[in-house]
Structure 1
């Protein structure tokens, strides 16, 4: 039996991955801070306190881990809190999934992620990518999208809603090497992420043109 875990299954992308896996009749463990209502029968919910989980938590045996955790600087309040969620929590789930037998991991990162970047956000994303690659998974699939659009996840700030409406117009000027930063609908992105259940060994990077194939 194939079993996948999703860390961040209440978020915009994670929720779409959860729904698509269940529709495809896969067994899923949804990891969250708070219970989610109306979960599919194929889903087992694992509600955890991440701080406690960092110390002595463990995961059930699984085959594939989807890491979709993430926050914003506005929600986090400061750089330390942001890094705690986007790096520490994400890396810890990845390590515990590996210890529980997962051979493959799929991570949602960010366009421009680079551990040597001067931009704090992009540097943290790049450092997480590097750390996860070093864990030893048979297959690591790293998705680097631009701005995410679509329904689901947390309540969006007014500025984010406005940017979602403008995104398609801004995409028109993102051509050539900048094309990979175009916005992408979360449902489309999730569909491509789910396809990594059959990913080849090694480290595989995915960008805008990969999402829409």
Structure 2
């Protein structure tokens, strides 16, 4: 963003441009959305748009930040509603995955952006969402450190978070996926839950070459 809006009028203008970006992407797709289309949809001239945003990429980043903030708020409400400290890791993981997939499925803009990894995975908004969920998980496992003692917790959370976001985005980007959302969640839980079981060992040393197998 070129400059931060400080007055109420300028903040309203920026918000209208972000909302217009979502409408145009939903209607035209990301590839065929332009700053001219966005300015027209927001009812402002193109010069006003360029006061705050350098290009379409800048607008998409702000849009993803907006959606990520909404998802953080919804996730926070969800974790409070289920009293997460009483849930098992598998149940907590299943709930978080189902919530994320459900929210994305009802959001045409996110479904479109998931098809463009360049924008989706480089977004600071998505990074902030990942960091928030990792923080929630850290709090959970620190609370249950006796039940789930493990080394390298942050490494485990990093691997699960990065791979889960990538897998979900790839799944959402497929118009005709070979598996349903429910099947994806079931198998992701089976895949990731053992990562946090007591006694699970995480390999952190460099792998040694086994010349005997050659």
TM range (shorter): under 0.3
More helix by share: 2
What TM-score comes out, normalization by structure 1 length?
A: 0.25
Higher Rg: 2
